[in-house]
Amino acid sequence: MFSKNIFRPNGLIMLSIFSGYGRFISLPPRRMKSLLEITERGLHCSTGGFFVDPWGPVDCAVITHAHSDHARWGSKNYLTAEPGREILRRRLGPNAIIETLGYGQVTTRNGVKVSLHPAGHILGSSQVRVEYKGEVWVVSGDYKTEDDGMIAPYEPIRCNTFITESTFGLPIYKWRPQAEIYADINEWWRSNQAQDRTSVVFGYSLGKAQRVLAGLDCNIGPIYVHGAVAAFLPAYEAAGVRFPNVELVLEAKIRSEKGQPLIIAPPSADNTPWLRKFGDVSTAFVSGWMQVRGTRRRRALDRGFVLSDHADWDGLIASIRATEAERILVTHGYSDILARWLRENGWQAEAVQTKFASEVEEDAEVLPPAE
C-alpha cells in the first residue's frame, strides 16, 4: 500500500492511499501551513508574530494605511510606512506606539523579513512584503496605479502569493486620466458661479479630498474646507504637497460671496442643516462609484465625478500580472468575480473573506475612547 499527496489551490493537501484494488481512496484533507493565514483577528503571520491590518487589538499590527477599516486602535505596537506616521497618529491617538519603516527598508521578525512598498492609495499607504525561507507574499492593502503627483506611486512587487483588493473588480470600472476629471470639476465650478450657486464637492476626508483640492484652479474663486478635511492637510503639506490657499468654512462669509466659493466636505455633510446654511448650492460627489449613473441619482446629487483612489479593472489585472505570482488571493470588493475571471484566464486564484470595507467613509478623526 502506498499514498500520494494531491495539492489543491486553496492550500489543502488531499492524502490518497492506494487500496490495493486498483484505485486510490481519498482521506479527509489537511491544510498546509501558510506564511499568512486568515484568522478571527485578521491576516496573521504566526512565524513572524504579527498581523497585517488586524480587525481588533493584537500585540503587533503592520498597517497598510490609515483608513479606519485598516487601522484600528487598541494594539500594543504598530508598524507603518514613515510617510504615514502622522496620519496614523491622528487616527490612533497620542498614546499609540508606532514604529515606521522607509519604503523598501527591511525589518526581521523571528526570521521573517518584512518591508513596505508604495501602494499609491493615500499618503503613507503601503504594500506589505513578507519573506521567509525564500517564499514571498505581498499584501496589497488598498492601491491605485495612476500616479497622482502627490504621493509615492504604486510599485509592483514580484512574489509567490499576492493578496489583492478588488474594490472595483468589474470590467465596467475604467478610469479616465485625473487631469480630465480636474478640468471637469473646475468647469462645473465656473458654471455654478454664473448661476450664483455655491459649489459643494463631497469626497472622503482622508485621501480623496486632498486630491480634489490639489486639482482645483484657485484663480476661479475662494476655496473652503470642512474641518474633517482640514485635519489631514498638515500631514500632506509636511510631505511636500502644495495646496491652493484654503479657509475653514464660515457660514456668513460664504453667503456674502454669493455663489463664488467652492466647498470640499465629507459625504456625511450632505442633506444636513450644516449644508443648508449656505443658501443655493450645487452638489457633487467625487468617487469611483460615480461610474454608475444610478448611484448619483440615488444620492440626489447634481453631478458625479469619477475619481478613485483604488485601481480600476485594467489596473487590477496589470498589477496582478506584474507580480508574476503563482497564487492570487482576492479580498474586499468584487472578490468572487475577479477570482473567477483570473482562474478562467490561467491564474491559480481564490476569493478570501475579510472585514475590510470597499470604500469607506472617512469623515473625521477616529480616536480611542478616553481612558
Task: Output the nine-digit C-alpha cell for 371.
Answer: 481612558
| Residue 26 forms part of a structural domain | no
Exposure pattern of 122-149 as b/e (b: 16+ CB <10 Å)?
Answer: bbbbbbbbbbbeeebbbbbbbbbbbebe
CB atoms within 10 A of CB 280: 11
* Residues 349 and 329 sit within 8 Å (Cβ to Cβ): yes
Digit-coded pLDDT (tens) for 172-208: 999 999 999 999 999 999 999 999 999 999 999 999 9
Is 278 contained in some domain?
A: yes
Residue 305's nearest CA partner among 168, 126, 209, 184 is: 184
295 and 344 part of one domain: no
**Sheet with 37-39, edge to edge strand ranges:** 37-39, 42-45, 50-52, 60-62, 77-81, 98-101
- Look up the CATH number of the domain holding residue 241: 3.40.50.10710
Of 305, 328, 363, the last residue of a domain is: 305
- 133: CATH: 3.60.15.10
Residues 105 and 220 in one domain: no
Q: What are the DSSP calls for 172-213, one per residue?
A: T--PPPHHHHHHHHHHHHHHHHHTT-EEEEE--TTTHHHHHH
Asked if 175 contacts 144 with a C-beta cutoff of 8 angstroms, the reply is no
Separation between Cα atoms, residue 313 and residue 357, nearest integer Å = 18
Angstrom distance (rounded) from CA 178 to CA 89: 29
pLDDT at 358: 54
Of the residues 305, 325, 359, which one is the last residue of a structural domain? 305
Same domain, 159 and 196: no
Main-chain phi, psi angles of 139, to 5 degrees: -100, 120
Q: Return d(Cα 98, Cα 71) in angstroms, integer.
A: 12
Instruction: For residues 128 and 60, state if they share a domain.
Output: yes
* Max Cα-Cα span within the chain: 91
Q: Which grid cell sits at 279?
A: 443658501
The label of the residue with cell 463664488 reads 260
**C-alpha to C-alpha distance for 290 and 308, rounded to whole angstroms:** 9
Query: Is 332 found in the same domain as 216?
Result: no
Are 278 and 202 part of one and the same domain? yes
Domain encompassing residue 327: 37-173+310-351
**pLDDT for 33:** 67
In a shared domain, residues 53 and 157:
yes
In one-letter notation, the amino acid at residue 64 is: T
Going residue by residue through the chain, which has 371 residues, state the pLDDT in tens, using 9 for 90 and above. 333 433 344 444 343 444 444 443 444 444 446 899 999 999 999 999 999 999 999 999 999 999 989 999 999 999 999 999 999 999 999 999 999 999 999 999 999 999 999 999 999 999 999 999 999 999 999 999 999 999 999 999 999 999 999 999 999 999 999 999 999 999 999 999 999 999 999 999 999 999 999 999 999 999 999 999 999 999 999 999 999 999 999 877 888 888 999 999 999 999 899 998 899 999 999 999 999 877 777 778 999 999 999 999 999 999 999 999 999 999 989 999 999 999 999 999 999 988 776 554 443 333 333 33
| Torsion region of 137: left, alpha or beta (phi above 0 gives left; psi -120 to 50 gives alpha) | beta
Point out the domain boundary residue: 305, 329, 364. 305
pLDDT tens track for 56-106:
999 999 999 999 899 999 999 999 999 999 999 999 999 999 999 999 999
Same domain for 226 and 315, yes or no, is: no
Residue 91 falls inside a structural domain: yes
Are residues 317 and 218 part of one domain? no
Q: Is residue 367 part of a domain?
A: no
How do beta strands 262-265 and 198-202 pair?
Answer: parallel
Grid cell listed for 334: 468584487
Residue 188 lies in a domain: yes
Q: Report whether 86 contacts 238 (CB < 8 A).
A: yes
**Residue 371 forms part of a structural domain:** no
The count of structural domains within the chain is 2
Q: Are residues 270 and 319 in the same domain?
A: no
Q: Choose among 337, 357, 366, 287: nearest CA to 53.
A: 357
Same structural domain, 229 and 291: yes
Decide if 4 is inside a domain: no
Domain assignment present for residue 337? The answer is yes
- 116 and 200 both lie in a single domain: no
